[in-house]
Structure 1
């Protein structure tokens, strides 16, 4: 009780948490812009509380106006699109091979996706690099 009286007498204001909400519907795979967002006075568990954490990221699911944006609803932007021609990099020992492939799904840096070698038509798995190429491991 003394702590409460002391806090009130010092003019301390309680912290007000806010949650980020979209002002319009944002479809999955769309990049979030500053004009798409607003702050709600309510706090929801797991919701993003800073607009800067959402700007420039990609929606994983459709985001509806007035509903809080949860941390899992957003992801880094994909650098590889489905059916995009990408370079495959393979290196083992002293051998290094670079060839073209067609991406069979979208991918963000660090994700493993399937791709089809353009020449041999073989399907392989590769890890997406930040520059949009795929690294194939032995």
Structure 2
């Protein structure tokens, strides 16, 4: 009898919860606790914990009741398009600094294109926590 009970417990489907939008949210919205809910469904690719989405920025419109995927979210943008940003290139003891204009928006760790205002050249770099864009190797 114990074996049968054990087999039934092992065969019982595991229930999982999925993070869904509590209401329709526009792209570029910062997600708070009132924006999200847990639904008793298992959706492949969807987030399973609210903490994974809280404080993140919606990259696309999130519709009420629909699952939230990791690809739909990203870190909040700290650099906006056309914003003036400091550019920094560092290799060993050499460091070059310039001013640039962001050609897209992004958050910490995102790679964006920036136009160097001195040379009018377009470069790519990663956004640092202070809002500066680091270009070159290891950026």
The TM-score with structure 1 as length reference comes to 0.83
Change (3 A) 1:4 1:69: farther
1:78 and 2:80 equivalent?
no
SS in 2 for 1:79: strand
User: C-alpha deviations, 1:84-133, integer Å up to 9, x for none?
Assistant: 11101112343322121110011233332111122332222222222211
Q: Please list every run of 5 or more consecutive structure 2 residues that lacks an aligned counterpart in the other structure.
A: none
Q: Counterparts of 1:74 and 1:94 in 2: how far apart (Å)?
A: 37
Which ranges in structure 1 are unaligned for 5 or more consecutive residues? Answer: none
CA distance in 1, matches of 2:91, 2:70: 38
Q: What is the RMSD computed on CA atoms of the aligned residues? A: 2.4
Distance 2:14 2:77 in 1: 36
Task: Flag the 1:34–1:131 CA change in 2: closer, same or farther, 3 A.
Answer: same
2:78 partner SS: coil
* Residue number in structure 2 paired with 1:59: 58
Match of residue 119 from structure 1: 118
Aligned 1:1-138 pairs, distance under 5 A: 2-6=2-6, 15-137=14-136
In the superposition, relative to structure 1, how do residues 43 and 125 fare at CA in structure 2: closer, same or farther (>3 Å)? same
1:5 alignment partner, SS class: helix
TM-score of the superposed pair, with normalisation by structure 2: 0.83
Aligned length: 135
Q: Which is worse superposed, 90-99 or 52-61? A: 90-99
